[in-house]
Chain A
Amino acid sequence: MAAHLKKRVYEEFSKVVQQQPLEEVPAKKLRLTKPSKSAALHIDLCKATNPTDALQYLLSFARKPVEAESVEGVVRILLEHYYKEIDNSVRLKIASLLGLLSKTPGFSPDCIVDDVISTLNNDKSNQVLAQLLDTLLVIGTHLPENAAVTQRLIEVACKHLSSPYFGVRNKCLQLLGYLGTVDKPLTKESEASTSTAPLQDVQSLISDYFSDQDPRVRTASIKAMLQLHERGMKLQQTAYSQACKLLNDDYEQVRSAAVQMVWVLSQLYPESIVPIPSSNEEIRLIDDSFGKICHMVSDGSWVVRVQAAKLLGSMQQVSPHFLEQTLDKKLMSDLRRKRTAHERAKELYASGEFSSGRKWADDAPKEKVDTSGVNLIDSGACGAFVHGLEDEMYEVRIAAVEALCCLAQASPSFAEKCLDFLVDMFNDEIEEVRLQSIHALRQISTHITLREDQLDTVLAVLEDSSRDIREALHELLCYTNVSTKDCIQLALLELLKNLTKYPTDRNSVWKCLKFLGLRHPTLVLPIVPELLSTHPYFDTPEPDMDDPAYIAVLVLVFNAAKSCPTMPALFSDHTFRHYAYLRDSLSHLVPHLRLPGRKQAVVLGSELSGVGSGSLESAQQFLQDSLARVSTLQNLDSPGAQDLLDFTIRDLQRLGELQKELAGSADFCATYLRCQLLLMKALQEKLWNMAVPLCLKQNAMASTAAQQILEETYKLEYLYSGLETRQVATVHNVRLQAKALQLILTARTKRGVESVLALCEKFLQEVESFQRLFMTELPHFQDSFVEKLLELMPRLVSCKPLDLVKILLATLRQSRFIHLRLPEQIHRALATIIEPTGESDNPLRFTTGLVVALDIDATLEHVQDPQTTVKVQVLYPDGQSHIIHPKPGDFRTPGPGRVRLITQVYLSHSAWTEPCQIEVRLLLAYSSSSSKLATPKPAWNESTEGLPTSESCIEGTINLSKPVKVFIMPKPARR
């Protein structure tokens, strides 16, 4: 019925259209068999009596897309109307439509170039001319290969360059920027146009407009130059002096473009020599331009300031002499004395001609100033960063911090100098700036050693109420070098203070102390007795092992002891006991130590851990060996095969625990083998020979096995990163086996062919899709289930369901176990919920009907694209479950491969009589279409069930973390 209706609609519609063209348009349009855009447009335009109407039609026309094949026709009609039209605005709109249409994919705009150019020559209105040139620009950028068109367009641009209207000149310059070539000077131009422009190349032609009277044209000319540069043309150095002049332009957009231009030239010709005006000295161009851009950091417009500050960061070839000026406001005033402002914090300030404003009356001029030496303005780089970091707009400050960081990474001596300034930025009023400067300091911290007073300032930030700031600071302290033992003590003290003030920072503080200990063993050594409060004569009470502060101290000491063998001699007895405990419970924070006094107890352990911590190669070897052993299994039915698999799985699991680097690989293998084992068990039973009603129990067993294998295969595919196509294919093979098993079981238990038929069809589709996806991998699958299936495929497609099931069963039992080959590195995605801890006995009380926010803090490792895949699941005691999608902003990345999720989930429930526990866990959502081979998947929508929905796009979730229990108590609302 619907089809019929559609047909009728179509008939009617096409009839209408065929009539109209007969009346109005030339005969060739008659070919159009379906409703055409051009025809409709033409009718509309003919109907329009006045320009306003026509404009309206054109506007509504522009909203709809046009198919590539009808573009040409539309363009013709538009041009036809263009010639007739007197009104400027309508012509303008038509011109802009032409540009729009020539962008249509699949349409080659070279056929309309001539028309546009001829209209260009005839039109009088400047605005229309500008629009037409814009259209040509669009066409030109779509036909970069067509040299003839390019040449013509350049000629047109040159001809109109002398237009009195700024818009036309703008567009011409833009055209030249996009299309102009350096290698071919514009020879034809002199004969093609009567204008007075002599033989010139594009660059000098454009640079003539650097001094145009209109600022917009000046901007356009600089931008055109930059465009040339972007297209890979080498700009000439002569432009440098012109660009420098433009830095003083009255208009901010000109200055902004000029800053870029100067920067580009400084990157092109860093080493060439330029003279300093008003003296006969010469300096390198990069230094000169650096000074000039530094100057722009105190420009009147903040847009220019941001740009200048950003660009400074990338000028790394500048000489250190100039670089260091940026941090000193008055270096040029005292060629006698080079001193950063901060050094005065340590030394007594010897007064010069300028006072610091720190002491009263120190600003009376003490000597007649050497006027040639003092230079307040043209001192170039002087104090650029001091200004940038003090700027009113935080955008500028952030840009300056970033630039400082980039430059400091390249130059250790500069890093040393800028340290104080970055530390000062920790006091900024905007949190973003503080954070940025902490990150910057972390990045350059390899170059620097903090002094005590600097460390003091840094540590003061530990009291900041913002968690991000504190954690960034912990991260920074992990990489920091300090100079004295007092610094260590200070840092420890402040970190402990932090710990008591913000107990949630526990893990981060411990980790921080671990690195502090590792980096400074010799500095920790002298303060060990103090830290552990040991006394040479008296026994001191044993500290509480559960105290996070004490653990923090121990973490510091043990890590320092790792590279300092004399340290354990200072430990008291209980310290050794605590070591053993911590080594076990916080193994990621406490390293293995060789403790001399504890031989007997440790021998066994050390040997054991000797295997564990033994060389990575041996562990790898072991992994390969066990895999090889398993691969000898040809027949799944062979006796002892099951045992072998059992042992291997156990071995692999233990290996994964011992050797962190191989945990992913070992885990992957173990899971894979477990799948094989399950499959083997399900198939080996004698049940397949029995009558159906007699083996209900076995059937149930087999179907759970099949279900379990399916789940495991999804885990194998999506939980591990670093897999290659081959492993994915292997996993898919196992999945097919499991599905085949399911199919067989269904066929045996269900009555009726209908249901089985559908299942069979689905299964065959899957086999086909496997073939499609893993075509290249097929050679590796000899004798496997899949290969056999594919061989039998023609037969399978034609045969009846019951036959199919029989064949499947046979193949399944005959198929060989596939040897698993491991890729370089496999990581298992892992998540740990740090908070809530699940230890609290106090229920979270809230009124029913309202919501309560639960803070969740979790770390994720090796999760790809966490923003889209990680969900939070909340499971209520009544079985109700919610899946919550955290905001992308809640994911922070403190380091490579690590992601931190700090978010809030909202809970709500109807009233309970007793407090009860809910479970919170993280899930990894997957969908089969999101695998690396297929197209991007549609957005994940919240759903309460995690079951696969369709075979083409299987969506589901995998548990990513252990569940955490939270005690909640929704109270009934009080009336």
Chain B
Amino acid sequence: MPDIKVTPLGAGQDVGRSCILVSIGGKNIMLDCGMHMGYNDDRRFPDFSYITQNGRLTEFLDCVIISHFHLDHCGALPYMSEMVGYDGPIYMTHPTKAICPILLEDFRKITVDKKGETNFFTSQMIKDCMKKVVPLNLHQTVQVDDELEIKAYYAGHVLGAAMVLIKVGSESVVYTGDYNMTPDRHLGAAWIDKCRPDILISESTYATTIRDSKRCRERDFLKKVHETIERGGKVLIPVFALGRAQELCILLETFWERMNLKAPIYFSTGLTEKANHYYKLFITWTNQKIRKTFVQRNMFEFKHIKAFDRSYADNPGPMVVFATPGMLHAGQSLQIFKKWAGNEKNMVIMPGYCVQGTVGHKILNGQKKLEMEGRATLEVKLQVEYMSFSAHADAKGIMQLIRMAEPRNMLLVHGEAKKMEFLKDKIEQEFSISCYMPANGETTTVTTNPSVPVDISLPLLKREMALGGPLPDPKKPRTMHGTLIMKDNSLKLVSPEQALKELGLSEHQLRFTCRVHLQDPHSDADTLARLYSHLKSVLKGYTVQHLPDGTVMVESIVLKVSSSGDDPNLKVILLSWSYQDEELGSFLSSLLKKGLPSAL
């Protein structure tokens, strides 16, 4: 039996450095190639030596697919393609292709220029890597090679996020990347058709969460910001430059406009402006409202939100600042946080998930004293709020996706083991499909039951259809006669005659003959006449002929009567039928053995 193998190199029972290897129908595919936020050493990248110890990856991988531009899904891409070595195609959607290099460049700058790491990929490597990218459109089926095809679906989450259907023959796998089943202020909801894949590889970040209605959350968020501003406090919202940031910007922008507030809103500059530019461009990837109104006003042209300058952080009075990165582990957001942490009037709102080990994770867990570099400690007095704006599907959303796609097997990645366990139980119980949650490096094998397509010749089909009713009835399976030809890796079902013709064989006639002895006092001719009338009465619906040359034909069966030399009363009936009429022939022989009825 063929099988599909799935091995997570990253994101197996973990969040971060998503990288999943799939072997399907003899093809090897790498899904995502991300880095881990929590580590600064070798562990931050997936362990590519699993694929091959030395040498390039090109000959081991057929393609690489990147689901969206978050660094934990694409951060290791230049490392893999340029430093480890991969020259095959890399697939991503248009927005991802546009935004991904900006983020990678930013990531490189922080690592190399700020932290002074060496042995890291260079700007040129990012450029070279992006040259290998093949862009995808939604719902477009792309042939990677003759057998492997991929198709992208809308995933919500961030601009350009996609779910991918990978198909080889009749085997298929869906990888969701990160997705969101509830629409938000700037993106729509994920959607997939009933593609019934063999495996659905789904993220499970919020496996144990069923979130409140998002309106509630939005209202709470706005209320908290509003209250702090009215108190004269400052609000810090650490975000990743792209994704949630844009949603929160739209939210605050519209709120500011409606409530006519004057306090400034800042956004840390640089890559955001570039990224906002792309948001304005890729309007088709946003939600209904933005798509419908962008002709009058593009929602991403903010009126109240201005660029941030480092010196603004010390300005008196209320303000709202969006700063990167989102987990307070480095960069501007951490700098501002250090400045503002001492004042209890201020507030930090964590709008998303924080990986273990980051400052964000620590303060969310209620740590009041933080150790900084150089043994300094930082007292955290400001209010810490958590507001889940993460655009990941919650438990209900994951279930909804399973219902939409109807997979045969389920595989969970990108989540914490404990939570996965819970969801796994739920899935197995409710859909009665098997669910897997492999750890990093662990291989899951799923045997598939592929359907084997067979071509059937049209005349044969028509002939069979003519015999029964015209419509196939699922309740009554029907048998048919035909010849199966396996030739040149393809299967064909044809009628026997055609098979003979195609194979260049001549037909062998197979005839059965048998003698039946009968006691009959009449003459041969009379016996034959009696035989004829007897068969005529028994075999209604068959053609029974009395031929002038002293034979009786029933369909193609020939009957002859002769009397044996010694006993004129003992007649010998000669029966002869072809193989095709075996059924009728044997019926006739057994019928005649019973003798002719005396009434005749």
Contact = CB atoms under 8 A, between A and B. Distances in A.
Interaction A to B = yes
Interface of A: 162-164, 196, 211, 213, 250, 298, 300, 329-330, 333, 341-342, 344-345, 353-361, 363-365, 369, 371, 374-378, 383, 386, 389-394, 421, 424-425, 427-430, 457, 460, 463-465
29 contacts: A213-B471, A213-B472, A300-B194, A300-B404, A329-B396, A330-B210, A344-B212, A345-B216, A354-B210, A356-B209, A357-B390, A358-B220, A363-B206, A363-B208, A369-B422, A375-B430, A376-B395, A377-B399, A377-B430, A389-B213, A390-B213, A391-B189, A392-B287, A394-B288, A394-B289, A424-B219, A427-B215, A427-B218, A464-B258
A363 B182 contact: no
B259 A463 contact: yes
Contact of A392 (B183, B206, B219): B183
Contacts of A463: 258-260
Contacts of B418: 364-365
Nearest to B405: A300
Given A365-B418, A392-B288, A430-B289, A358 B388 contact: yes
Given A354-B208, A391-B183, A162 B386 contact: no
B475 to A, nearest CB: 9
A465 B258 contact: yes
B212 A357 contact: yes
Interface in B379-419: 386-388, 390, 394-396, 399-400, 403-404, 418-419
B183 A357 contact: no
Contacts, number: 129
Contacts of B213: 341, 386, 389-390, 421, 424
Interface string B202-233: 00001011111111111110000000000000
A164 B471 contact: yes
A460 B222 CA distance: 12
A421 B387 CA distance: 20
A393 to B, nearest CB: 6
A357 B395 contact: no
Interface string B252-287: 001001111000000000000000000000000001
Contact of B396 (A360, A383, A394, A430): A383
B364 interface: yes
Nearest to B390: A357
A357 B430 CA distance: 24
Given A424-B219, A429-B254, A390 B395 contact: no
Contacts of B429: 371
The 9 closest A-B pairs by CB, nearest first: A357-B388, A392-B183, A360-B386, A424-B215, A360-B364, A357-B211, A354-B210, A341-B212, A376-B399
B394 to A, nearest CB: 7
A460 B364 CA distance: 31
Given A394-B289, A427-B215, A429-B289, A361 B209 contact: no
A392 B470 contact: no
Contacts of B472: 213
B309 interface: no
Contacts of B260: 463
User: In the complex, which of the residues B183, B210, B289, B429 has the most CB atoms of chain A within 10 Å of its own CB atom?
Assistant: B210
Contact of B364 (A341, A345, A361): A361
B308 interface: no
Contacts of B287: 392
B183 A390 contact: yes
Given A353-B208, A357-B212, A365 B419 contact: yes
B477 interface: no
B474 interface: yes
Nearest to B299: A429
Interface string B413-457: 000001100100110011100000000000000000000000000
User: In the complex, which of the residues B213, B254, B395, B399 has the most CB atoms of chain A within 10 Å of its own CB atom?
Assistant: B213
Interface in B447-505: 469-472, 474
B386 A359 contact: yes
Given A329-B396, A391-B183, A363 B212 contact: no
A371 B422 CA distance: 9
B425 A371 contact: yes
A394 B387 CA distance: 25
Contact of B386 (A298, A333, A358): A358
Interface of B: 182-183, 185, 188-189, 191-194, 206, 208-220, 254, 257-260, 287-289, 350, 354, 364-365, 386-388, 390, 394-396, 399-400, 403-404, 418-419, 422, 425-426, 429-431, 469-472, 474
A164 B426 CA distance: 44
B425 A357 contact: no
A196 B471 CA distance: 12
B182 A390 contact: yes
B259 A392 contact: no
Nearest to B423: A376
B220 A355 contact: no
Nearest to B196: A250
B396 A390 contact: no
Contacts of B400: 298
Contacts of B219: 424, 427, 457
A372 B431 CA distance: 14
A92 to B, nearest CB: 22
Contacts of A377: 399, 403, 430-431
A359 B185 CA distance: 21
B76 to A, nearest CB: 28
Contacts of B403: 377
A379 to B, nearest CB: 10
A394 B370 CA distance: 46
A531 to B, nearest CB: 25
Contacts of A376: 395-396, 399, 426, 430
Contacts of B259: 460, 463
A457 B226 CA distance: 13
A341 to B, nearest CB: 5
A387 to B, nearest CB: 8
Contacts of A354: 208-210, 395
Contacts of B192: 300
B233 to A, nearest CB: 20
A390 B217 contact: no
Contacts of A464: 258
A330 B418 CA distance: 21
Contact of B365 (A162, A345, A361): A361
A365 B425 CA distance: 13
A250 B386 CA distance: 40
Given A365-B419, A392-B287, A425 B430 contact: no
Nearest to B400: A298
Given A300-B193, A390-B183, A392-B287, A356 B212 contact: yes
Contacts of A421: 213
Contacts of B365: 360-361
A329 B471 contact: no
A104 B396 CA distance: 56
A457 B220 CA distance: 11
Nearest to B290: A429
Nearest to A374: B426
Contacts of A363: 206, 208-209, 419
Contacts of B474: 211
A356 B215 contact: no
A365 B208 contact: yes
A814 to B, nearest CB: 71
Contacts of B471: 162, 164, 213
Nearest to A369: B422
A377 B400 CA distance: 8
B288 A196 contact: no
Contacts of A389: 213, 215
Given A363-B419, A463-B259, 7 more contacts: A329-B396, A342-B216, A357-B211, A358-B212, A360-B386, A375-B430, A394-B288
B380 to A, nearest CB: 14
A375 B258 CA distance: 41
A774 B357 CA distance: 93
